[in-house]
Amino acid sequence: MSDLSPSADVGAGEIVGGRYKLLSEISSGAMGHVYRARGAGDREVALKRLFDLRQATHFDIEARLLSRLRHPRVVEVLDHFQDDSGMYVVMELVRGEDLGRTLARRGDPGLPLQEVLAYAAQACDALRYIHEQSIVHRDVKPQNLIVGQQGVVLVDFGIARELADAGTGTRAIGTPLYMAPEVLVGESVSPRSDVYGLAATIWASLAGRPPSYHEPDSLRKLVPDVTPELEETLRRALDPRPERRIASAEALATALGSPLGVATGSSLARSVVRPEQDPSLLESIVRTAAGIFEAAAVSIALADPTTREVVYYAAWGAGADEIVGVRLDPGTGIAGAVLASGDPIAIPSCRDDERFAARIAAGTGYVPHTMMVVPLVHAGGVIGVLSILDRRSGEPYGPADLPRAQLFAELTVSALPAAAAISARSRAGADAARRTRSR
Active site (catalytic) residues: 139
Tell me how far apart the alpha carbons of residues 36 and 110 are, in angstroms, rounded to a whole number: 29
Q: Say what angle helices 191-207 and 99-106 make with each other, to 10 degrees.
A: 20
Instruction: Give the end-to-end CA distance of the chain in Å, rounded to a whole number.
Output: 64
Q: Among 37, 77, 44, which Cα is nearest to 60's? A: 77
Residue 39 near residue 45 (C-beta atoms within 8 A): yes
Q: Can you tell me whether residue 436 is helix, strand or coil?
A: helix
Backbone angles phi, psi at 284, to 5 degrees: -65, -40
Q: What angle do CA 426, 289, 78 make, to 5 degrees?
A: 110
Distance of CA 56 to the CA centre of its chain: 16
Beta-ladder partners of 97: 147
Backbone angles phi, psi at 149, to 5 degrees: -65, -30
| Burial profile 197-215: b = 16 or more Cβ within 10 angstroms, e = fewer | bbbbbbbbbbbbebbeeee
Q: Among 265, 244, 300, which Cα is nearest to 135's? A: 265
Distance of CA 186 to the CA centre of its chain: 19
Residue 198 near residue 252 (C-beta atoms within 8 A): yes
Backbone angles phi, psi at 337, to 5 degrees: -65, -40
Residue 89 near residue 63 (C-beta atoms within 8 A): yes
